[in-house]
Amino acid sequence: MNSWQGDGIISRATTPRLLDAISDTGVPFVELTDRKGDVEFSQIHSDDAAVGRMGGEYLLERGFERFGFCGYNGEAWSKRREDTFVRTVDEKSSGECSPYNSAWQGRAARN
């Protein structure tokens, strides 16, 4: 990336090494992941609560009565979506929601 002459970067830097390489370019960049906490660069995130709510409302509007949510253990974005999905279903139906969480394979799948 040292010889790249771009004007900006939109990234989902999943490793410290990649984040450092992007930072070293000196060009403006926007980060898409929320794993870094307090950082000095611009970030954009999905509205996880809206994703969960919209998913629940979509199924409710189609008359479904039994619900499941498949998420990932230890992933804050997944937990936010699950919480809002379950709350939406609980508040707007007499149905029940059965959450299921598995291990996130995203990082291992990239190797």
Give all domains of the chain, ordered by start, each with its CATH number: 9-43 (no CATH), 48-109 (3.40.50.2300)
CB atoms within 10 A of CB 84: 21
Q: Is the pTM of this model over 0.85?
A: no
pLDDT in tens, 22-77: 888 888 888 887 665 566 777 888 899 999 999 999 999 999 989 999 999 988 88
Question: What is residue 34's predicted lDDT score, i.e. its pLDDT?
Answer: 67
Q: What is the mean pLDDT of residues 82-110?
A: 84
Distance CA 22, CA 12 (A): 10
> Looking up tokens 């409302």, which residue turns up?
57
Q: What is the token pair recorded at 16?
A: 């410290």
Helix, strand, or coil here: 58?
Answer: helix
Indicate if the pLDDT at residue 2 is higher than 70: no
Of residues 55 and 109, the one with the higher pLDDT is: 55
Q: What is the token pair recorded at 6?
A: 């771009």
| Band of pLDDT at residue 101, cut at 50, 70 and 90 | very high
CA dihedral (33, 73, 77, 51) positive or negative:
positive
The answer to whether 46 touches 68, Cβ cutoff 8 Å, is no
